[in-house]
Amino acid sequence: MFHRRHFLLSSLGLLATLAPTTAATPRWSDAATALDIDPARPIGTIPANMMGLSYESTQLGEPDFFSEANTDLAGLFKTLSPRGSLRLGGNTSEFTYFQPEGSVGAPVWSPAPTQPGELTPITPRALHNLRGFLDATGWTCIYGLNLGTGTPERAAQEARAVTQILGPTLDYLQIGNEANNYIRYRLRPAGWDPSAYLAEWFTFARAIIAQVPDAKLAGPDLYADRAWVTRFAERAQRELGSHLVALTDHYYAEGPPASPQATIENLLHDTQVDDSIAVMSEVGAAARLPYRMTEVNSCYQGGKPGVSDTLGSALWAANLTLRLAARGFAGVNFHGGSARQIKASLGGTLPGDAVAKTGAADSYYTPIAGTAATGYRARPIFAGMMLADRMAGTTLVASRFPAPQTDLLAYAAASERIHAVVLNVGQETRTVSIGLGTPVSSATALRLTGARVDATTGVRFGATEIGANGDWSPGPGEPLPRVRDERRLLTMPPTSAALVTLDPGASATRPGRTQTPA
Ligand code: BDP
């Protein structure tokens, strides 16, 4: 069981720095930066389903997409994570309706100019296909219901069908997406505030629980605005009891795409996320509930070409995932999908197209591009997410650079072996000497690399690129030379990351997914 309070204190302890060592040092360490891992200091467990993707709800309007028959897509999901979480929601969740049978028509709907002209039907077939996809991939689902244009009755009917059809693959239901933006999206009149939101949300929740007595609910599924999140959490805890299973928030590091501030450099040194972390860890700890970032990406409004689709975004995603895990988040869902789906969520345009001066087939931030017909492609960010996912299901342990670093980041975890993810987000090659304080019989590194930080193709994790159907051969990993005091030397090229596996035992090291210790 995860002890959040203990975990938070321990992770704060990690921020402490030690005085730089002054003892005489051999030549290799003149340039090498020490990284000390303490496997005896656990700081929290990372859930097996930490990694996730997020798609627009209207994706279910194409029932063959999330389907067992879409084997290439399923292959990519499995390669990304054997136990990931698929969140369905986004702005388009407000423009869907459940259609239990063909004779059920769309609700009457008069769209504002920036809203989709039609509501998208979600059919039982789409839900059965989704279940098949989840079973085939080993993934589970976070399902968003329509609060914006829906009714409590329709939401309850949909919730019942989703709960029955998805069965154990359903993590929880959510109601509404980013309700604190409803005025801007012309879903509610001026004056809509947390009180108005809560009154509606609880009307929906009560209707759902009446139809689904064991309903699992989470929320508020909006940017971690302290007032909205705090009020939601307090009231939901009081009124929903065990029906409330998690608290959720969203985060975009940059935006909009045209902003000159939306750069790779700023992405790699993003600290704004600390505000979200502060809100969610505080509210989550008070409620004693898991908290998850259910929608996240590098740049809002569909991503920015040359930033969201580069090696830089991969390094950002790997770091963000582990940073959140180290601060007690249960997981993270990276948003994506085709240009069509994301345009529908943004009033009909993909602002990154103006930056790229072309029309894209996919959103710029999507981890998976393409279609079944044209073939899928894992974008660079996918490789960064994969790297972070290799730490899922392990116990995070203390690690630190005795000297403060701006461009080097590291996270360590213990399972049968010791793993470390090391990132160099700077432009200089760095050498890192890694020590456990005990002998290491073997050490290897699996690298995440690309030609340049703005490379959009050729980004690799391990020996090969990820294939269109998820095929991936990591290769044996690169042995790390032994240096003084049982330390291992890792050379980190500029803007690269590495998964290091250290084996304190005698057996050979095989990089890959780790197991939670018994
Ligand atoms: C989020 C919405 C999502 C959008 C995304 C974006 O939930 O539907 O696609 O912003 O701006 O706030 O890219």
Q: How far is the CA of 159 from the centre of ligand 1 (A)?
A: 23
More confident residue, 17 or 30: 30
Q: How far is the CA of 3 from the centre of ligand 1 (A)?
A: 33
Q: What is the pLDDT at residue 46? A: 96
Task: Select from 299, 300, 364 the residue to mutate for testing ligand 1; criterion: most ligand atoms less than 8 Å from CB.
Answer: 300
217-223 and 170-175 strand pairing: parallel
Q: What is the pLDDT at residue 12? A: 32
The domain 53-389 belongs to what CATH superfamily? Answer: Glycosidases (3.20.20.80)
- Residue 302, phi-psi category: left (phi > 0), alpha (psi -120 to 50), beta (remainder): left
Per-residue pLDDT band at 23 (split at 50, 70, 90): very low
Q: What is the pLDDT of residues 385-442, one digit of tens each?
A: 999 999 999 999 999 999 999 999 999 999 889 999 999 999 999 999 999 999 999 9
Q: What is the pLDDT at residue 416? A: 86
Q: What is the pLDDT of residues 47-67, one digit of tens each?
A: 999 999 999 999 999 999 999
Residue in the block written with tokens 């938070």: 8
Residue type, 101: E
Q: How far is the CA of 347 from the centre of ligand 1 (A)?
A: 11
Per-residue pLDDT band at 30 (split at 50, 70, 90): low
How far are the Cα atoms of 237, 246, 249, 334 from residue 241, in angstroms, in the given order?
A: 5, 11, 20, 29
Q: How far is the CA of 91 from the centre of ligand 1 (A)?
A: 6
Residues forming beta bridges with residue 333, ordered by sequence position? 52
Residue type, 70: N
Residues 53 and 21: beta-carbon distance below 8 Å: no
Q: What is the pLDDT of residues 206-244, one digit of tens each?
A: 999 999 999 999 999 999 899 999 999 999 999 999 999
Structure tokens at 487: 């330390």
Task: Select from 342, 353, 355 the residue to mutate for testing ligand 1; criterion: most ligand atoms less than 8 Å from CB.
Answer: 342
Contacts of 518 (CB under 8 A, 6+ apart): none
Residues 469 and 376: beta-carbon distance below 8 Å: yes
Domain boundaries, the chain: 9-45+393-503, 53-389
Of 389, 399, 409, residue with least CA distance to 514: 389
Structure tokens at 41: 């200091």
Per-residue pLDDT band at 14 (split at 50, 70, 90): very low
Answer whether 302 contacts ligand 1 (Cβ < 6 A): yes
Helix (H) or strand (E) holding 217: strand 217-223
Q: What is the pLDDT of residues 461-484, one digit of tens each?
A: 999 899 999 999 999 999 999 998
Of 411, 382, 392, residue with least CA distance to 472: 382
> What HEC string does 406-443 produce?
CCEEEEEEECCCEEEEEEECCCCCEEEEEECCCCCCEE
Residues 321 and 388: beta-carbon distance below 8 Å: yes
Q: Where are the alpha helices (DSSP H) in 69-151?
A: 71-80, 124-137
Our CA dihedral for 206, 247, 387, 256, rounded to 10 degrees, sits at 90
Task: Select from 88, 91, 248, 349 the residue to mutate for testing ligand 1; criterion: most ligand atoms less than 8 Å from CB.
Answer: 91
Q: Where are the alpha helices (DSSP H) in 43-192?
A: 71-80, 124-137, 152-166
Mean pLDDT of 187-206: 97
**Helices and strands (H, E) in the chain, number of each type:** 12, 23
Q: How far is the CA of 300 from the centre of ligand 1 (A)?
A: 6
Please provide the DSSP assignment of 5-51 as one string: HHHHHHHHHTT--PPPP-S---GGGGTEEEEEEEEEEEEEEPPTT-E
Is residue 327 packed enough to be buried (19+ CB in 10 Å), middle (13-18) or exposed (0-12)? buried
Task: Specify the CATH number of the domain 9-45+393-503.
Answer: 2.60.40.1180
Q: What is the pTM of this model?
A: 0.92
Contacts of 75 (CB under 8 A, 6+ apart): 467, 469, 470, 471
Q: One fold for both 9-45+393-503 and 53-389?
A: no
Which DSSP state fits 61?
G
Rounded-to-integer distance, Cα 514 and Cα 389, Å? 10
Q: What is the mean pLDDT of the chain?
A: 91
Is residue 318 packed enough to be buried (19+ CB in 10 Å), middle (13-18) or exposed (0-12)? buried
Q: At what angle do helices 311-326 and 380-389 cross, to 10 degrees?
A: 30
Mean pLDDT of 302-330: 98
Mean pLDDT of 128-135: 98
Per-residue pLDDT band at 504 (split at 50, 70, 90): confident
Q: At what angle do helices 194-211 and 226-240 cross, to 10 degrees?
A: 30
Rounded-to-integer distance, Cα 92 and Cα 285, Å? 31
Rg of the Cα atoms in the chain: 23
Structure tokens at 158: 């949909």
Q: What is the pLDDT of residues 247-258, one digit of tens each?
A: 999 999 999 999
Answer whether 140 contacts ligand 1 (Cβ < 6 A): no
